[in-house]
Structures are given as structure tokens and as C-alpha cells.
Amino acid sequence: MRIDLHIHSKDCSDGRLSISEIIRIACKRQVRLLSITDHDSIECQESIEALSISNSIRYITGVELNITFSDRRCLDGKPISLDVLGYGYDYSNKALLEKVHALRAHRRRRAELILEKINEVFKREGRPLFTQLDLKSIEAMADGAFGRPHIADYMIKKGIVANRKDAFERYLVECDVPKLPLSLEEASSLIRGAGGRLVLAHPNDPNGTSLAVICPSLSEQHALIKGRMISFLDGVECWHPRHDRETTAAYLSFSSSQGIIATGGSDCHQQPVILGTMDIPSYVAAQLGVDLKGV
């Protein structure tokens, strides 16, 4: 019996597997508690829940939101991006629906505006301009919330720049457009207001979008969460593919000491299909109010 509470689909987000494929693989791998946590999207939750139930899989509603977080440790005073996971919310909640629609619309519009600014630089350099086809290609290769790193990767692929550092220094810093801000406080209010719980995603992910950006040590991360974030969180994601054993153990201890829930998942987007490969104990389901007896 397995649990996976962090998966992305291609139907409503940036994954490479359809909802039906996710359910099929989950059944094959004996996943008995599942959550699909698409970025800024909850439109598919009703159909996912129904399909899960018909395949004897317990399902808990999920979503991943990107928040803007400021702290004195932030370089040059600039806020960092963090990800949070919402679980067990009502997918018909009006306030939550309106917000995720706004976030998705702005994410794409932001990318369009960035490409427009890049095109102004390209004109000066005598380069061919980006088109809507380029925008669609960037969306297709995005693995996570669609943003500047994906544009950088596309520019590398096209031979415009040598690496991400080159892309940012030559184009993406100058051509940046602000995100639609979402604070931890607002994310918490939205998810809790819809009857759900908010969990800090992959807090020590070395690839970024985590507290590791500003707090290299686990003890520093724990102190920051306890001092600045704990009142808005219901849990932390302890099990994650990019968390080593030390990180998982430290966050399990921290969650226990703070009386908050511990969650985990594969964060599966694409190949290789790592859905259902995390060793997550059954008590996680009980923490979320899910009974796995008879499953």
C-alpha cells in the first residue's frame, strides 16, 4: 500500500501524464491514497475524485500555489518564491476558484509580456523575434510553475544563450515583469476558508523554490518557519524526491514538535514516472482524516 500526495497532470497543469494515466499507474503500483496537486488549478478535482473512487483509491483534493515570501535574509531585500500545497479543500469554493483563475491567467500574460520585452532587445540585436509558437513551445517544456527559468531553457535550446546565467544576465533581468503576488497569509486564508489545510512544499529542495535559497541549514529553516510562518501552516512536506534522509528526519521531528502534519509525495511531472515511489507511512493518511481500512 502506497501514498502519493504530490502529483501533476497534463490535463490541468504541467505534467506529462493524463489523469486517466495517473489513476491507471496508481492502481498498478497499489497507491491507495492520492492527491493531484496541479499548479494554480482546481478545475479537474471533481472528475479526479470520481475516477479515483471508481478505482478504489482514496482521494484528497490538492493544489500547488506559488507564494511570495520576504525575510531579512533575502538577497538585496528581494522576496523569494516558495510553494505551498493545499489539501482537503472544497473545490466549489468561490473565493478559491476566482483566485486560481486569476493566477493562471496572469502567469501566461506575464510570459507574453516578458517575450515582448525580449523581442525589443532582439530587434536591437537583429535577431528573429519570438512568436506565439515559441510561447506555446515554452509552455510545453515547462516543468513547474511557468516562469523565467523555462524561457531561459528555451533560449538555450534555440542556441541564443549558453546557459541560464547567460539568459538572465543578457535578457531576463532587464525584461522582467512582476508576478501576481500571493502571500503566505492570503494562501492560508484561501485554503483554510475553503475547509482545507496548507502545507509548505519541499522546504529544503536544493533546486530552488524553497527555504534552502536563504537558509542553508535545516536549523535555520526550522527557526524561520517557527518564527514567521507557523501560524499560517498546517503542515510541512517531509518526504520528497529531492529531500535526503537527513532532511526528511529533521522535518519529521520538527513537525512533531510543532504539532503540525507531515505529508509527502513524488512531485511527479514526467519521465521517469516516479508516481508512488516514495515510502510514506500510513499514519499520514490518518493525520489528514482519511481512513485506509478496507482499501
Same domain, 111 and 191: no
Instruction: Please indicate, yes or no, if residue 294 is contained in any of the structural domains.
Output: no
* Domain residue limits at 114: 105-172
Percent of residues, the chain, with pLDDT higher than 90: 74
Do 22 and 82 fall within a single domain?
yes
Q: Which residues contact 287 (CB under 8 A, 6 or more apart)?
A: 235, 261, 262, 263
Give the total number of structural domains in the chain: 2
Which helix (DSSP H) or strand (DSSP E) does residue 262 occupy? strand 261-264
**Residue 115 resides in a domain:** yes
- Do 73 and 197 belong together in one domain? yes
What does pTM read for this prediction? 0.87
Q: Of 172, 204, 228, which marks where a domain is finished?
A: 172
- Give SS3 for 83: strand
- If asked whether residues 158 and 185 sit together in one domain, one would say no
Q: Does 241 have pLDDT greater than 90?
A: yes
**Which pLDDT score, from 0 to 100, does residue 294 have?**
65
- pLDDT category, 170, cuts 50, 70, 90? very high
Final residue of a structural domain among 117, 148, 172: 172
Mean pLDDT of all residues belonging to the chain? 92
Nearest partner of 47 among 103, 91, 13, judged by Cα: 91
Whether 131 maps to a domain, the answer reads yes
pLDDT of residue 179: 81
Tell me the torsion sign for CA atoms 124, 125, 126, 130.
Answer: negative
Shared domain for 279 and 216, answered yes or no, is yes
Residue 130: the pLDDT is 96
Question: Residue 4 contacts by C-beta under 8 Å, 6 or more apart in sequence?
Answer: 26, 31, 33, 34, 35, 265, 266, 268, 275, 276, 278, 280
pLDDT confidence bin for 13, thresholds 50/70/90: confident
3-class state of residue 38 by DSSP: coil
Q: What is the mean pLDDT of residues 85-97?
A: 97
Identify the CATH number of the domain in which residue 130 sits: 1.10.150
What is the predicted pLDDT for the residue at 14? 64
Which comes out higher in pLDDT, residue 71 or 287?
287
Residue 203 scores a pLDDT above 90: yes
* Ramachandran sector of residue 202 (left: φ over 0; alpha: ψ -120 to 50; beta: rest): left
Distance CA 214, CA 204 (A): 10
278 domain-assigned: yes
Exposed, middle or buried, 216 (CB in 10 Å: 0-12/13-18/19+)? exposed
